[in-house]
Amino acid sequence: MISAPSEREDAALVAAALSGEDRAFTELMRRHKVTIYRFVRRYVGDASEAYDLVQETFVAAWSALSSYDSSRPMPAWLRKIALNKCRDWCRRRQVRSFFFLAAHMDSPSAKGVVAQDTAPDAADESKLMVLDAAIAMLPQGLKEPLLLTVFEGLSQKEAAETLGVSVKTIETRIYRARQKIAQAFSEADSTDS
């Protein structure tokens, strides 16, 4: 079994990148791009947007590399940058929706965009689509604790530190997020019947 890269190795790569070795930063990206992509993909619910945001995350990381604190784990630092990029993306999306009167996800025109395959082997794919959509539609305050704890594997304490809130707040928000996701599945089941 291959072990995860150590924080010491990441810190050495940061030092090498800062001294002008381009391959060092490329190695950092290679090590962490999959986990950052998964986080961003779950946050925004759209694969192509997630690719763009991951690129923005690593561009921002490169620009801020000199401010990296080697006492912090690299994945946590990158995740924080990605979280800020996702928040920016949500704000831009809200502004665009307001100005261009974009169709709401529940409108008949938006529902026609995604064709539902009724084949039995598409059931799992359909559930995954409902889950992705439900997570993407969660308010930021519920989405972030859920993603950080359930999907990124952080403890509630670590998520609380990342988001700057109390552990009890994280616990409450995760509970509410799960309720909303369960409601989305219930609504999806009722429309399928």
Of residues 86 and 153, which shows the higher confidence score? 86
pLDDT per position as a tens digit, 54-94: 999 999 999 999 999 888 889 989 999 999 999 888 877 76
pLDDT per position as a tens digit, 10-38: 999 999 999 998 899 999 999 999 999 99
Candidates 47, 51, 46, 53; CA nearest to 83 is 53
pTM (2 decimals)?
0.61
Average pLDDT, the chain: 80
CA dist list (Å): 37 to 41, 164, 176: 6, 23, 25
pLDDT per position as a tens digit, 158-168: 889 888 899 99
What is the separation of C-alpha 12 from the centre of its chain, rounded to a whole number of angstroms? 27
State the fold for domain 104-193: Arc Repressor Mutant, subunit A (1.10.10)
DSSP codes, 77-121: HHHHHHHHHHHHHHHHHHHHHHHHTPPPTTSHHHHTTSPPP-SGG
Q: Does domain 1-102 have CATH number 1.10.760.10?
A: no
Q: For residue 1, what is the DSSP state?
A: -
pLDDT of residue 193: 61
> Residue 133 corresponds to which tokens in the numbers above?
């959509």
* Out of 95-104, 125-134, 151-160, least confident range: 95-104
Break the chain into its structural domains and give their ranges. 1-102, 104-193
pLDDT above 70 covers what percent of the chain? 79
